[in-house]
Homo-oligomer: A and B are copies of this chain.
Amino acid sequence: MNDILTYISNNKEKFLKELVEFLKIPSISSISSYKEYMIQAAEWLSENMKNSGLNNVKIFPTKGHSIVYGEWLDAGKEAPTVLVYGHYDVQPVDPLNLWDSPPFDPVIKNGRIYARGSADDKGQLLIHVKSVESYLKTVGRLPVNIKFLIEGEEEAGSNHLDEFIENNRELLKCDTVLISDTEWFAEGIPSICYSLRGIAFVELTITGPNRDLHSGTYGGGIDNPLNVLCWMISRLKDDYGRITIPGFYDDVRPLSKDERENFKKLPFDEDEYCKDLGISMVNGEIGYTTLERVSARPTLDLNGIYGGYIGEGAKTIIPSKATAKISMRLVPDQKPDDIISKVENYLKNIAPPTVKIEIARLHGGNPVLVPLDSKGIKSAVKAFQNAFGKEVLFTREGGSIPIVSTFLEVLNAPSVLMGMGLPGDNIHSPNENFSLENFYGGIKVSALFLEEFSK
């Protein structure tokens, strides 16, 4: 292991040079005229993977942008297999005028490299390629079998990835998935995210009269779909911030005492939080802290509402229809289909007979929880501690990373979210940057993780 870590220390300049090359390619997946840069980025990456010692490196075409694959499988059948997932595409750069330096002309300043894609995700994915290189150029072998699945459409919806994974189950078979595409809880605080919320998204449409009516002529005589909608929505939560849909909490795994202790360790300044959001106070489910509420408890939020006249000024109609988009973030072990059925039943039960209601199922995704005592998490913790010499904190993420569900459902493989980003990286924004300490440290973490995971 020492040879490997020494190789990493001695080759920082080389690694950085390669990262700069990679970042210079403006591989924006969502702009069709950038197609040639997407091809260029995929080719650069596959060359780099080959040069790093990976075998069977291929560029798989999809209906969209290509997927880059590579592997090293000579660790033997007894050794576990790690699948590294990442993406070589980047976000658009608008508004360009807010960048301090050109987004595709990397600049190093104060220990950070500034460029679009530096943290999200070129810098983070390259960590693992360089970790593999560090093994193969020194001891000539890896302690595990490894596969790379690097897509080019993450910033454009990953539209062809699920299909690719489903059609290549054997090729992608693995024991765990390693993903570096998230960030630490705060600078200087290495953290591992072990849980993601799922989602259940419905659209509720209420129809009253068969046409928009004059509110003078008809007002007071019939139920107004907009008023009914508000009334129904108001009945989805009680005065304590709890969701009133019968059975909604049935499958919620309670937070363990250990988990709540973990949450307490995370630095969180509620005043700063409110200040940043421009609100005077937080609010949510009774009995939980803000960090617990936004990541470890299920929610119900309206994401959109519309009906009637929405232009400037006054128009006196009773509209025929009113619509609300309602999403629920789910936690283990809630199931999207089950939750949506419960929502449907409840809404149907409380809807007055004066209106018709329709509920469209828009979207569902499972929550994810990787046990803290699983091999992947334990290995990551050790790798982090060895690389950075600091205690690793555990976090839960309030959002969803759909690919993590796909890996679990299709490949039966849990993911380790070994993010090396920091909250100040400005991903998706002007002046995106990546900490070089985390870049070099990440290569070490990756190398140490592979060693730990092989045990």
Contact = CB atoms under 8 A, between A and B. Distances in A.
B283 A222 contact: yes
A302 B224 contact: yes
B216 A278 contact: no
A284 B329 CA distance: 36
A211 B278 CA distance: 9
A241 to B, nearest CB: 8
Interface stretch (A25-33, A166-174, A257-265, A397-405): A397-405
Given A234-B230, A290-B221, A303 B281 contact: no
A101 interface: no
Contacts of A353: 280-281
Interface string A285-310: 10000100110011111111111111
Interface stretch (A43-51, A319-327, A430-438): A319-327
A309 B214 CA distance: 27
Contacts of A399: 214, 216-217, 316
Contacts of A311: 304
A302 B321 CA distance: 12
B314 A209 contact: no
A445 interface: no
Contacts of A216: 197, 199, 329, 397-400
A362 interface: yes
Count of this chain's copies in the oligomeric assembly = 2
Given A217-B399, A309-B325, A302 B222 contact: no
A316 B294 contact: no
Interface in A191-235: 197, 199, 201, 203, 208-211, 213-224, 226-227, 229-231, 233-235
Interface in A305-343: 305-311, 313-319, 322-325, 327, 329
B219 A299 contact: yes
Contact of A327 (B215, B299, B303): B215
A139 interface: no
B302 A308 contact: yes
A354 B217 contact: no
Contact of A227 (B233, B294, B314): B233
A352 interface: yes
Given A227-B237, A297-B220, A354-B280, A215 B305 contact: no
B294 A329 contact: no
A301 B233 contact: no
Interface of A: 197, 199, 201, 203, 208-211, 213-224, 226-227, 229-231, 233-235, 237, 277-285, 290, 293-294, 297-311, 313-319, 322-325, 327, 329, 352-355, 362-363, 397-400
For the complex of A and B, list the 6 residue pairs with the smallest distance between their C-beta atoms, beginning with the closest: A216-B399, A210-B278, A234-B234, A304-B308, A226-B302, A230-B233
12 contacts: A216-B398, A220-B299, A224-B301, A224-B302, A226-B305, A227-B233, A227-B300, A280-B353, A282-B354, A304-B310, A306-B306, A310-B323
Given A227-B301, A280-B353, 19 more contacts: A209-B278, A214-B399, A215-B303, A215-B327, A219-B327, A219-B398, A220-B294, A223-B283, A224-B302, A226-B324, A231-B233, A282-B354, A304-B307, A304-B317, A306-B306, A306-B310, A309-B325, A310-B323, A314-B362
